[in-house]
Amino acid sequence: MKLKTFILTALVAAVYVLHQDFWNWKEAYPLVFGFLPIGLAYHAGYSILASATMAVLVWTAWPKHLEEIEPEVKHPKEDRS
Amino acid sequence: MIPVIVISIYLVIIGVIGVLAFRKSQANTEDYFLANRSVGEMVFFLSIFATNMTAFAILGSSGQAYRQGIGIYGLMASSSGLVIPLTIFFIGTRLWALGKRFGHQTQVAFFRDRWECDSVGTVIFALSALMLVPYMIISIMGGGTVLAHLSDVGGTRPPIIPYPVGCAVVAVVVTLGVFLGGMRGTVWVNILQTTLFLCFGAVAVVTISHALPGGFGEYIAKLAGDPKTSFLVTREKMPPQAFWSYTLIPLSSIMFPHMAIMCFSARKVTAFRRTVVLYPLAIMLIWLPCVFLGVLGAATLGKVADADGILLLMLEKYAPVWLAGILGAGVISAVMGSDAHQVLALSTMFTKDIYQHYGGREKYGEKAAVHFARAFIIVVTVAAYVIALELKAKQGIFEIAIRYAFSGFAALAPVMIAALFWKRSTKWGALAATLFTAACLIYFAVLQNTCHPGDVVWQIGQGKEAIKVLFLNPRGDVSFWNGFMTVVPMVFGSAICMIAGSLVTRPPSQATIDRYFPKQVSELSRQGGSPEQAAERVASRAQ
């Protein structure tokens, strides 16, 4: 496995594992911004982390070869589906 | 009355967009079902997001947060924010490429060609169609619920738009839009709809915060301080096994036919780049306010008869009437955006996978196929409407979606992954996985209806050390191995069936494998010879 593939796989796996935040399970406090229970604020932050992870994947592992795909079917009416 | 007027204006706009799209349409199925594969980047994001956001996202999430607390956000929203973009990134882009290259318009068309099979494709089609219908029904139910709440004048008088009429209004407007505009009309409408409901959450939170004396913090502290309600601001009553199980549910997203079909409609694969990055943020914009307001509803409104309507009750009480109307239109947008895609997807599947596949187009022509699709849309919407009325009293919006559609589609994800990435996969593996999924759904549905909450169906050992392998939890959901959801054995069982079934049967012909897994020039260069010779070998293999 290439180093880049290994690092990206580890990144996605780590983010996935961070979803199971057992340390916040029975906690309501602190209230982030004075009103968001910590369990809810953590997962709002997690959504931002997920977006950042996807940005990393897009920048480093984008399937560029797919951009050059050309249709083998010439006309919609001749399609095989 | 004012909310009803605002929503009526909104519905008229939707109708006008459908007519405009109709005028631009061409009489062939690729244009009707996929807008000629011409959907641009931003529209693609707005549309694919609208495809996935249902009444469940807004009404179901706030209703469940009212019952179970803040954990609902992590349970469904944040896990979806990671898993759905990942599936779009790895599976959606490949589906798009195969659609462009071979002309596929549905998942089943891809499976049939990839595994050289007709009947196995038909089995997958049947299961997908059966599981999509409940998802469509909750959209109509959500629409009826919203219109009934918003037109409720209070007191003993019934709402101006009763639930059955509300369902009918949503069904008719969606049907008209899809009937006339096809995919083009649907994605145009999605631009307006997604913008509306993305703004919805923030506006609702700001409005309600201004109306509440003392601010949100005071109410949250009140919930946390009362032992009877403290579970709403923690996850103390939420089993960690169930919480983890839910991370498998978003695998269903890419297997929903309307999502896959949406992937085929993009103009360029680059449209997926922005979508996968923005998707988690868009989910947060909608779910975070809805879940928070659902929990807040428990503190401010106390016990309510219909938990799924908690958000609307909050709006009625704390937002000005005209604003409640606009926000109601936002909720209706979410309902109709996904419903339109579901109706269109069912119509696409029936037309392409059944009608055309079994010779309809050769017999009656391309134009007739579009007419067939439109007729089918009317039939399926009427059926969904009737079922929506029947089921209203029996099931909550959330439960129907989870039990019958999400788990089933998630269990089909291994089939798609194998088709795209595993050369050795076979139609028999796909059939085994599909039949396993169908059997699980039937079995769990039977258990659900014959057992009672707390009943243990299968247990290993006795006393405190006993492992409850299969049982109904206190809420009445079938659970597995001390608390995991049924989606866990379904996904892993389906994957095992796919692998085992493929390994013991003969793979598709080498020609088909070469078509779907063409070797790159760089790969062949490693086998020796010049790059020109390698390129020649690529060309000869392709032939």
Residue B467's H or E segment, with its range, is strand B467-472
Arithmetic mean of pLDDT, B280-296? 93
Which of A11, A24, A51, A78 should be substituted to probe chain B, the one whose Cβ sees the most B Cβ atoms within 10 Å?
A: A51
Chain A nearest CA to B152, separation (Å): 31
Q: What's the rounded Cα separation, in Å, for the pair B492 and B514?
A: 29
Q: What are the chain A neighbours of B110 within 8 Å (beta carbons)?
A: 81
Measure CB to CB from residue B103 to each of A51, A66, A79 and give the nearest one: A79
Q: Which two tokens stand for residue A42?
A: 């953590």
Q: How many domains does chain B have?
A: 1
* Residue B367: closest C-alpha in chain A: A77
* Best mean pLDDT range from A42-51, B194-203, B349-358: A42-51
Residue with tokens 């496995």: A1
Is residue B521 one of the residues assigned to a domain?
no
* Residue B354: closest C-alpha in chain A: A81
Q: For B323-348, what is each residue's pLDDT tens digit?
A: 777 777 777 777 777 788 888 888 88
* Best mean pLDDT range from A3-17, B186-200, B507-521: A3-17
Say if strands B467-472 and B478-480 run parallel, antiparallel, or are unpaired: antiparallel
Q: Which residues contact A18 (CB under 8 A, 6 or more apart)?
A: A46, A49
Q: Which two tokens stand for residue B384?
A: 């969904």
Q: Which residue type is seen at B46?
A: L
Q: Which of A27-41, A62-76, B230-244 has the lowest mean pLDDT?
A: A62-76
Q: How confident is the model at residue B529 (pLDDT cuts 50, 70, 90)?
A: low
Q: Does B62 contact A at CB distance below 8 Å? A: no
Arithmetic mean of pLDDT, A21-50? 95
Give bridge partners of residue B460 from the DSSP assignment. Answer: B467
Give bridge partners of residue B312 from the DSSP assignment. Answer: none
Query: Within its chain, how far is the Cα of B23 from the centroid?
Result: 29
Q: How confident is the model at residue B163 (pLDDT cuts 50, 70, 90)?
A: confident
Q: Strand B456-460: give its sheet, edge to edge.
A: B456-460, B467-472, B478-480, B484-485
The Cα angle at residue B142 between residues B138 and B143, in degrees rounded to 5: 120
Arithmetic mean of pLDDT, B88-107? 94
Percent of chain A at pLDDT > 70 equals 88
Closest by Cα among B74, B81, B396 to B238 = B74
Q: Does B483 contact A at CB distance below 8 Å? A: no
Angle between helices B79-87 and A3-18 (to 10 degrees): 150
* Residue B111: closest C-alpha in chain A: A81
Q: Does B283 contact A at CB distance below 8 Å? A: yes
Q: Does B482 contact A at CB distance below 8 Å? A: no
Arithmetic mean of pLDDT, B92-99? 95
The Cα angle at residue B117 between residues B111 and B122, in degrees rounded to 5: 70
pLDDT for B330 equals 74
**Contacts by B503-508 with C-beta closer than 8 Å and gap 24+?**
B503/B424, B503/B429, B504/B428, B505/B426, B505/B427, B505/B428, B505/B429, B506/B426, B507/B423, B507/B424, B507/B425, B507/B426, B508/B114, B508/B115, B508/B116, B508/B426, B508/B427
Give CA separation, B384 vs B60, B164, B174, B211, in Å: 19, 12, 12, 39
Q: Which two tokens stand for residue B239?
A: 């089993």
Supply the CATH number for residue B297's domain: 1.20.1730.10
Is residue B500 one of the residues assigned to a domain?
no
Residue with tokens 């798009």: B96
Measure CB to CB from residue B78 to each of A19, A55, A67 and give the nearest one: A19
Is residue B495 one of the residues assigned to a domain?
no
Closest by Cα among B65, B288, B50, B82 to B190 = B50
Arithmetic mean of pLDDT, A31-38? 93
Arithmetic mean of pLDDT, B457-484? 87
Give bridge partners of residue B39 from the DSSP assignment. Answer: B266
Q: What's the rounded Cα separation, in Å, for the pair B3 and B5?
A: 5
Is residue B369 one of the residues assigned to a domain?
yes
Q: What's the rounded Cα separation, in Å, for the pair B502 and B421?
A: 13
* Residue B515: closest C-alpha in chain A: A72
Measure CB to CB from residue A31 to each of B217, B234, B269 and give the nearest one: B217
pLDDT for B154 equals 65
Q: Which two tokens stand for residue A46?
A: 């997690």
Q: Which two tokens stand for residue B132?
A: 């999509």
Q: Which domain holds residue B213?
A: 2-22+30-407
Q: Which has more confidence, B23 or B422?
A: B422
Q: Which two tokens stand for residue B26?
A: 């061409």
Q: What are the chain B neighbours of A12 within 8 Å (beta carbons)?
A: 86
Quick check: B265 pLDDT over 80?
Answer: yes
* Residue B118: closest C-alpha in chain A: A81
Chain A nearest CA to B391, separation (Å): 32
Quick check: A80 pLDDT over 50?
Answer: no
Residue with tokens 């179901």: B60
Q: How confident is the model at residue B34 (pLDDT cuts 50, 70, 90)?
A: confident
**Cβ separation of A37 and B234 shorter than 8 Å?**
yes
Quick check: B37 pLDDT over 90?
Answer: no
**Cβ separation of B244 and A62 shorter than 8 Å?**
no
Quick check: B478 pLDDT over 90?
Answer: no
Q: Which two tokens stand for residue B452?
A: 């009672």
**Cβ separation of B233 and A16 shorter than 8 Å?**
no
**Cβ separation of B288 and A40 shorter than 8 Å?**
yes
Q: Does B320 contact A at CB distance below 8 Å? A: no
Size of interface A-B (CB pairs under 8 A): 166
Measure CB to CB from residue B85 to each of A50, A67, A76 and give the nearest one: A50
Measure CB to CB from residue A44 to each of B94, B102, B288 and give the nearest one: B288
Where exactly are the structural domains of chain A?
Answer: 3-78
Q: How confident is the model at residue B177 (pLDDT cuts 50, 70, 90)?
A: confident
Q: Which residues contact B349 (CB under 8 A, 6 or more apart)?
A: B106, B108, B125, B128, B129, B257
Chain B nearest CA to A4, separation (Å): 16
Q: How confident is the model at residue B141 (pLDDT cuts 50, 70, 90)?
A: confident
Q: Does B143 contact A at CB distance below 8 Å? A: no
Residue with tokens 């937002």: B319
Q: What is the model's pTM? A: 0.89
